[in-house]
């Protein structure tokens, strides 16, 4: 590989002059600058990006940490972030914490040491707030809030309203025995969605019915089995996300229960496969692309010293499809 000294020798200048031309850190005589650029083109010289990052304290890279790369929601979010990052002249490094607090902390430390320009994080770990508060680079939290307040901004959808809309829709569909698959209550997203469901129950004097469920397909399988045991008369199910809705449908289908004729299902997120699946899932849509795009943009605006909004809450939308049917 060509070194900066070889480029300097060909151009007839010092290595520091080559560095100044490449980094734009100081004015260089036009004639020397042209010689340097010609020598770079001749040799195909590429600078050591890590060395440049350490020198400039910027790697032109943004880190993204997700809790579970198997969940399509996080894949779609990362895709939106990467597209905006690339448009802004940055690169993205994706890290999967696998719901492991220690691994998440290690990822944050690694990105800080690599001089990443910022981190976009989605997390299910309670310890994250402290790690963010001690982080030396800007962090944007997406999808749910964390305790500690060290992030420069957070982005989420209106989870509470999503819970209300889901419950009201099943009532409009004529469901009388609705069961909510309650997501982990230590997570703000799960807590707010359940509060929305609860408030509709209180509004109409309906008894709450729920089973606890994590945001995963496997958890959805077990939780659905519990519903059939504990609430055999259930005719409507609010799944905590679309992955869980898929698990619900599988178990109901295996048990010979017809959807939506005998029991109706509504999911949350509107990940791509919710409309590719047969039947297509009725779901509460989070604007995944808009949320990811904004997360990347905030990091870039922070680096550039531009103003941005700290609190960002997106509206959710009911998408009526084939797993529910409004009563005529």
* Spatial CB neighbours of 295, under 8 Å, sequence gap ≥ 6: 81, 120, 140, 142, 155
Higher pLDDT pick, 37 / 185:
185
- Taking only the tens place, the pLDDT of each residue in 54-90 is 445 557 899 999 999 889 999 999 999 999 999 999 9
pLDDT at 99: 86
- Taking only the tens place, the pLDDT of each residue in 164-199 is 999 999 999 999 999 999 999 999 999 999 999 999
pLDDT at 133: 85
Q: Is the pLDDT of residue 320 over 90?
A: yes
Spatial separation of the C-alpha atoms in residues 219 and 282, rounded to whole Å: 20
Percent of the chain residues topping a pLDDT of 90: 70
pLDDT at 26: 67
User: How confident is residue 225, by pLDDT bands cut at 50, 70 and 90?
Assistant: very high
User: How confident is residue 144, by pLDDT bands cut at 50, 70 and 90?
Assistant: confident
Query: Going from the N-terminus, what domains does the chain have, and what CATH number goes with each?
Result: 4-47 (no CATH), 59-158+288-316 (3.40.50.2300), 159-286 (3.40.50.2300)
Average pLDDT over residues 216-245: 97
User: How confident is residue 44, by pLDDT bands cut at 50, 70 and 90?
Assistant: confident
pLDDT at 118: 95
pTM of the prediction?
Answer: 0.83
pLDDT at 125: 80
pLDDT at 54: 46
Report the residue count for the chain: 328
SS (H, E, C) the chain: CCCHHHHHHHHCCCHHHHHHHHHCCCCCCHHHHHHHHHHHHHHCCCCCHHHHHHHHCCCCEEEEEECCCCCHHHHHHHHHHHHHHHHCCCEEEEEECCCCHHHHHHHHHHHHHCCCCEEEECCCCCCHHHHHHCCCCCEEEECCCCCCCCCCEEEEECHHHHHHHHHHHHHHCCCCCEEEEECCCCCHHHHHHHHHHHHHHHHHCCCCCEEECCCCHHHHHHHHHHHHHHCCCCCEEECCCHHHHHHHHHHHHHCCCCCCCCCEEEEEECCCHHHHCCCCCEEEECCHHHHHHHHHHHHHHHHCCCCCCCEEEECCEEECCCCCCCCC
Degrees to nearest 5, angle at CA 183 with 223 and 254: 25
Mean pLDDT value across the chain:
91
Average pLDDT over residues 209-231: 97
pLDDT at 1: 63
Average pLDDT over residues 113-140: 88
**Residue keyed to tokens 């469920």:** 213
Q: Is the pLDDT of residue 159 over 60?
A: yes
């Amino acid at each position: 590989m060509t070194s900066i000294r070889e480029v300097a020798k060909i151009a007839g200048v010092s290595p520091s002059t080559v560095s100044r031309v490449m980094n734009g850190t100081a004015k260089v005589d036009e004639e020397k600058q042209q010689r340097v650029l010609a020598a770079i083109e001749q040799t195909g010289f590429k600078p050591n990006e890590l060395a440049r990052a350490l020198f400039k304290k910027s790697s032109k890279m943004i880190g993204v940490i997700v809790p579970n790369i198997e969940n399509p929601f996080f894949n779609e979010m990362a895709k939106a972030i990467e597209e905006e990052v690339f448009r802004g002249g940055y690169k993205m490094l994706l890290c999967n914490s696998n719901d492991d607090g220690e691994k998440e902390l290690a990822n944050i430390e690694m990105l800080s040491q690599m001089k990443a320009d910022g981190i976009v994080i989605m997390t299910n770990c309670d310890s994250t707030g402290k790690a963010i508060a001690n982080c030396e680079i800007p962090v944007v939290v997406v999808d749910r809030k964390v305790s500690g307040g060290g992030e420069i901004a957070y982005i989420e959808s209106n989870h509470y309203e999503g819970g209300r809309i889901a419950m009201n829709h099943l009532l409009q569909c004529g469901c009388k025995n609705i069961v909510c698959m309650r997501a982990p209550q230590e997570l703000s997203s799960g807590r707010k969605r359940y509060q929305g469901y609860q408030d509709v129950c209180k509004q109409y004097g309906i008894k709450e019915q729920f089973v606890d469920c994590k945001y995963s397909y496997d958890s959805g399988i077990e939780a659905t089995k519990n519903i059939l045991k504990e609430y055999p008369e259930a005719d409507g199910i609010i799944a905590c996300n679309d992955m869980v809705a898929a698990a619900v449908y599988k178990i109901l289908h295996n048990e010979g229960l017809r959807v939506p004729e005998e029991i109706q299902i509504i999911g949350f997120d509107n990940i791509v496969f919710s409309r590719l699946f047969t039947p297509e899932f009725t779901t509460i849509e989070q604007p995944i692309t808009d949320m990811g795009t904004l997360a990347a943009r905030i990091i870039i605006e922070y680096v550039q010293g531009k103003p941005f909004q700290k609190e960002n809450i997106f509206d959710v939308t009911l998408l009526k499809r084939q797993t529910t049917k409004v009563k005529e």
